Structure 1
Amino acid sequence: MKKSNHLMVLEYMERRGMLVDADAKSQLYAMQKGFEGELAFAALFERFANQDWLLIYDYWFASGKKKQIDFLLLSSAVWFQIEVKNYEGRFEYKTGECWHNGKLLDENLFSNMEERARRLKKIAAGVSSKIQVRSIAIFINEFGQTYFDETFTGEAINHLQIKDFFWSIRNVQKLPAWLEDKVRLALEEERGTYAIAFKGLDPGVFELVRQGVCCDGDESCGGFHAVRHQQYSFICQKCGKIESLADVIARHAVELRYLFYDYPEMVTAGNLYLLMGGAVSKIAIRKHLSAKYDLVRVSNTHYYRINI
């Protein structure tokens, strides 16, 4: 599973001290919690589920609102739309509205799932009229509680019920190759891309970005503690992780690409030299980037093409 580009942009902006907007910080926290929940579900699937299910992560419809699905769990008889929520505290469904810790949520989780289920049913019908489509919300956080009033008609389970859910669908038969190809093709025809508009930094604020070589160790480290260890490596003075010079340069180049998401031409040896606080020479930067990425020549500017 890969983090979305949107999440990567926000995380790199926070690391470099450029995430000052309160709404953006709140969005970053929500996206990080969501991704943690999805990782936890994928790990539980790997551990407890029948692996004959076809699992598809982060599916987007090509058009329309409310169009992203966390997981599709597919067989020849049943398609599950799985929405994973990593809410701490209390989630409540009351008279058709969704609340979290006493706050009314902007969107109704289950109404959105119903809309996506209608679209899934159309795709499934093109594969086989016998396929059933079900939608399940999984509240995966062990510190979360859920409450549903008598108006609730959907399907929802908490973290304690996930293993029982996998056990209940253990007898699925593996999709034959020809049918799996048909299913993938049908889904691909309706698949879109990440559709939420977002932006990275503007080149004009580059000089305000916190400079230096950061550590890529444990998240609890997460600071600018990496220093030159030997000629071809760096070491973090806090957590002790040693990283090769080539990996440090490539990682910071990718970070630069994400920070200035809309401006790929920002990935130059000069800009990377500044981002890393002058810790690595431009000659070394050019050498290692040239070995890994294509050099694009545009008028007087040379930059490295990094596809993300």
Structure 2
Amino acid sequence: MGTVKAVCVGEKRGTQKTNVKTAEFAVNYGIVGDAHGGNWHRQVSLLSYEKIEAFQRGGADVLPGAFGENLIVEGFDFRSIAIGTRFQCNDVILELTQHGKQCHSPCQIYYKMGQCIMPTEGTFAQVLQGGTVSVGDEMRKLEERDDRFTAAIVTLSDSGFSGIREDKSGPLLKAILEENGYRVVESLLLPDEQSRIGEELVRLSDKREVNLIVTTGGTGFSPRDCTPEATLAVATRMAPGIAEAMRMHSMAITKRAMLSRGVSVIRGKTLIVNLPGSPKAVKESMEYIGDQFTHGLNVLLGRVSNCAR
């Protein structure tokens, strides 16, 4: 059981928030009147009261909301609690969606404080059920959680990102994954830029703790095709059999499948698989390899042993 120590709201992103002591939480939006509200996964930011106290003991003198946090709660180390865990405070139900964040440039908080603990200690959540939260309210961790495997889709296409070409592979892949029981938590459309692709793969694996990331596009011979290189750069272990099986199957359909450079790897507890860019190839590939992901992910997460039949 935890206790709410502050409820903070801010009108602009990247600025300190003000402890308003009570606020209304709206489903799939966040806190009414807060700049971070919206239809995305970082609707509400949380910091552990104990982490702020430790920062204060270093000589700082900060007020609630100094790090841009919405809720300060005593009794929980949010950073150590698994993504997908749910918390309830009065009628409000929150689901943790991401640990920490990457700051691309120093914000107002950093310039004033000299450092910001939100990138490392902050945790973000979505609002599943709305209501009011006030200082002094009790918060409890729920046993109930969505145990479906989570997935993220990353479409790589310069023309798609610029709006010249419609992305058809990403939506198709989302439909296929959902039909197979996955909970798709993010779908991204990015240009063929290796550093940016790698950055998102790391965020989805490490901060969002996604079980499966499937990319589509950027696996060919074009000078701009860099998805395999971006994927290999963030890998902690190889899982080559998936990509090999996909090419073997596709070779029976077209010899041009030998020109695909897609790879399959593991980063921590996340499986990352590169698919070709065309909707036809996405459908054919997922029909052949998709049914093996469940066992692989269960082994990766330690839920079952990898024993031979």
Whose helix fraction is larger, Structure 1's or Structure 2's?
1
Q: Tell me whether the two structures share a fold, i.e. TM-score over 0.5.
A: no
Larger Rg: 1
TM-score by length of 2: 0.26
Q: What is the TM-score with the length of structure 1 in the denominator?
A: 0.26
